[in-house]
Amino acid sequence: MHVEVVGSGRPLVLLHGWAMHGGVFAPLVEQLRRDHVLYLVDLPGHGLSTERDAIDLAHVVQRIAQVTPAAVWLGWSLGGLLAQQAALEMPWHVRGLIAVAASPRFVTAPDWDCAVSAEVFAQFGAELKRDYRGTLERFLMLEAAGSQHAQAEIRALRECVFARGEPAQMALQQGLSMLSAMDLRAELAHLTQAHLWIAGRRDKLVPWQAMQRASASTRRGSTVCIAGAGHAPFLSHAVELATLVRQFVQASDNSAPGT
């Protein structure tokens, strides 16, 4: 597993979203590297991670923990789902959780309307086999949709997606399956760490209401909604997002045992 380590200060683990790699966080890295040692993970099948095929993403959190120190984890989109799972499984290692444009359930249910239809991910999965690059392009457009700076975000995502090689199709299919199937809503009540949900007010993929509901179902959760942001606030609002991250990590350190 490829992990880029940059910066100095308190450790912070960053997990990217579907089809991307750690390089997508570049604007946020520039804001945080003076205050944090950043562990930028390329998930299996993505970026410079050498394992390309037949990756079981459902168990990847254990492997990330093996190559990173105990720290706050920040996960975006699919990475946010993984960070939630890690926080539940390994509270001694994941000392705090920041979910950016991520919720405990990405698809709708009778009691969960603040999400996208399961058919959306099923369609992406079917199209991925027929038109790999075209499907990725459509997903990038969905991620940028609604943002105050949508065109700039699409350009940034396009430049990033293949910058470290093509993501493995098997890993992409498994990632879509996770987004469709995982539901951590009931488990969130067991989170013992502080956790922050950062939403984009204009996000078309993960509505801010989903993150607000997730926070309300826990004891130590809080939500911040960034006006004007879509699904990738680290591209459009890096300064504001970095400020929220610094404040959260500082508060987490102050509330840790022995402080």
pLDDT tens, position by position, 8-49: 999 999 999 999 999 999 999 999 999 999 999 999 999 999
Could you tell me if 210 and 225 are in contact, meaning their C-beta atoms sit under 8 angstroms apart? no
- Bridge partners for 15 per DSSP: 41, 75
pLDDT tens, position by position, 101-112: 999 999 999 999
Contacts of residues 160-164 at CB distance under 8 Å and 24 or more positions apart, as own/partner, are 160/20, 160/21, 160/23, 160/24, 160/26, 161/19, 161/20, 161/136, 163/21, 163/23, 164/21, 164/23, 164/42, 164/46, 164/47, 164/48
Q: Which amino acid is at 245?
A: V
d(CA 137, CA 159): 11
d(CA 94, CA 72): 6
| Given 49, 77, 147, 236, the catalytic residue | 77
Could you tell me if 174 and 38 are in contact, meaning their C-beta atoms sit under 8 angstroms apart? no
113 is catalytic: no
46 is catalytic: no
Could you tell me if 44 and 51 are in contact, meaning their C-beta atoms sit under 8 angstroms apart? yes
Q: Per the structure, how many domains does the chain have?
A: 1
| Given 36, 203, 236, 237, the catalytic residue | 203
231 is catalytic: yes
Query: What value does the mean pLDDT take over residues 92-116?
Result: 96
pLDDT tens, position by position, 185-233: 999 999 999 999 999 999 999 999 999 999 998 889 999 999 999 999 9
Tell me the pLDDT band of 259, cut-offs 50, 70 and 90: very low
Query: What value does the mean pLDDT take over residues 39-60?
Result: 81
CATH of the domain at 236: 3.40.50.1820
Model pTM greater than 0.85?
A: yes
Number of CB atoms found within 10 A of residue 209's CB: 15
Residue carrying structure tokens 């205050």: 35
> Within its chain, how far is the Cα of 160 from the centroid?
16
Name the pairing type of β-strands 36-41 and 94-100.
unpaired
Structural domain of 235: 3-255
| Given 2, 16, 195, 231, the catalytic residue | 231
